[in-house]
Structure 1
Amino acid sequence: MSDYTEAEYKFEGAGGIDIAEGQEVMPFYLILDQSYSMEGDLGILRQAVEQLIAELRSDPETDDSAMLGVISFGSTAQVTIPLSRLSSIGMVPQLSALGGTDFSDAWRAYDSAVKADTARIRAKKGRIHRPCVFFLTDGEPADRRAFRNVFLTTQGKDATKMWPYVVAYGFREAPAEVLKDIAYPDFGEKLGKWFLLKDRDPKAVIEQVKNLVNQTIVQATSTNAMGQRDLQAVAPLPAANVEYGSVDEVF
């Protein structure tokens, strides 16, 4: 089970929300697979998160409106970085292997975190946009039905008005069908996006994911600054070795 209940998260993450009254907030969350299969890649992953934060806060529009949180999961899940303004995030903690691959607990941890974060932002009269979640995994869960049910009953469109836009990134042993299950929404005009990176070099894959996440966040915050508020996952260059698509349509 998740290491954080909603009440505990409100205490542990209390210092991250630093906004002016009425400020717009665009929340972004990274959900990172830290199961045993990722153990050899955690140093690279931590470095990529540090670089992502540094690159994002160098863009004034992004640093002004974006907030970032990080959730790590294996057989348990934990909040590694509470949702915070980019300029207030210090050193990224060391990442450690967390056991097996339980997508369900990852979504339970996110559900607790986002509810607490939303309440804290609204308590400061902040204006919060729909959250965006970037989910990175190199495998698949033991029970594919279970995690989808957990997500839909906690964060699906029938469970909350603030359901997230979810972008799934997979590599190594992650099947495309599982990534499609993670991506959300699967209805209406804006469909969740999924990306299966075929490169076998974890460093190259994680760097590519970092760049795609960076571009997506910067694009979202820049369009928001112009009043357009468009959030769409950025696609890789045509030459990239990536299979990708929306929930039910391959581009």
Structure 2
Amino acid sequence: MVESGALTEANNILPSLVQALEKDPIICDKVRFGVMDFSDDARMVLPLCDLLEQTTLPQLEGRGRTSYKAAFDLLRTQIERDVNQLKADGFAVHRPAVFFLSDGAPTDAEPDWKAAFAALTQYDKASGTGNRMYPNIIPFGLQGADPRILQEVIHPKNPPERAMRLFMADQDQTAASAGRSSGSWSTSPRAVRAGSTGA
């Protein structure tokens, strides 16, 4: 169950992203965002969109446990759907990026969520097997998060020049600054997902 402080942090992120995008018109024109939440299950609460065109932003609510498996399963299917739609609409799509927000450890069995994570992130270019649309994943720890757990969902970790990194809210880092410093915002459209535990 998400704690109230972490929930407040999560709900402050989208407005902060809007403020950052308003200051950067080039990025604003190119980046598209979607928001999902996850607890016992996962669901889309904001379909892929231009954030500045939204008159209202979703408010996440505490609603259960913390199923990483549900989040990773939905991410795989939703990213594939969104990337295909962007391409059909004439966009050049770069590697999708996921800001993975969490305040706690997964409540699924470890083999289950790790298998779902592997299905989301693994791709063998030589054989063409796996998820060709795998995303870069930037974990963002909310209040009370265990960085040791979130380190496991960084992707990719190697090579160093392409590696993503972990961000923690209690280190006064914001999702907007995480996006810029991780190199996950580019001048081409990309799908971006934000998930929050128990929300």
Q: TM-score range by the shorter chain?
A: 0.7 to 0.9
SS at match of 1:64: helix
SS at match of 2:3: helix
Which of the two has higher C-alpha Rg? 1
1:89–1:105 distance in 2 versus 1, CA, 3 Å: same
1:70–1:37 distance in 2 versus 1, CA, 3 Å: same
Any conservation in 2 of the 1:134–1:169 contact (CA below 8 Å)?
Answer: yes
1:155–1:90 distance in 2 versus 1, CA, 3 Å: farther
1:63–1:43 distance in 2 versus 1, CA, 3 Å: same
Q: Quick one: which amino acid aligns to residue 169 of structure 1? A: F
CA deviation profile, 1:115-148 (whole Å, cap 9, x unmatched): 1101111112211000111111111012333222
State the match for 2:123 in structure 1.
Answer: 157
Q: Distance in 2 between the 1:54 and 1:92 partners?
A: 13
CA deviation profile, 1:165-192 (whole Å, cap 9, x unmatched): 1111224443232112110113334223
Q: Distance in 1 between the 2:51 and 2:155 partners?
A: 25
State the match for 2:163 in structure 1.
Answer: 191
SS at match of 2:174: helix
Larger relative contact order (CA 8 Å, sep ≥ 6): 2
CA deviation profile, 1:221-243 (whole Å, cap 9, x unmatched): 3xx48xxxxxxxxxxxxxxxxxx
1:177–1:40 distance in 2 versus 1, CA, 3 Å: closer
Any conservation in 2 of the 1:172–1:198 contact (CA below 8 Å)?
Answer: yes
SS at match of 1:101: coil
Could you list the runs of 5+ residues in structure 2 that have no partner in the other structure?
125-129, 189-199
Could you list the runs of 5+ residues in structure 1 that have no partner in the other structure?
1-35, 200-204, 226-251
Q: What TM-score do you get using the length of structure 2 for normalisation?
A: 0.78
Q: Distance in 2 between the 1:91 and 1:154 partners?
A: 30
Q: Distance in 1 between the 2:182 and 2:137 partners?
A: 13
1:87–1:195 distance in 2 versus 1, CA, 3 Å: closer
Q: Quick one: which amino acid aligns to residue 109 of structure 1? A: L
Any conservation in 1 of the 2:20–2:176 contact (CA below 8 Å)?
Answer: no
Q: Distance in 2 between the 1:178 and 1:127 partners?
A: 34
User: 2:75 matched to 1:104?
Assistant: no
How far did 1:163 drift?
1.6
Using the aligned pairs only, state the percent identity: 23
Q: What TM-score do you get using the length of structure 1 for normalisation?
A: 0.63
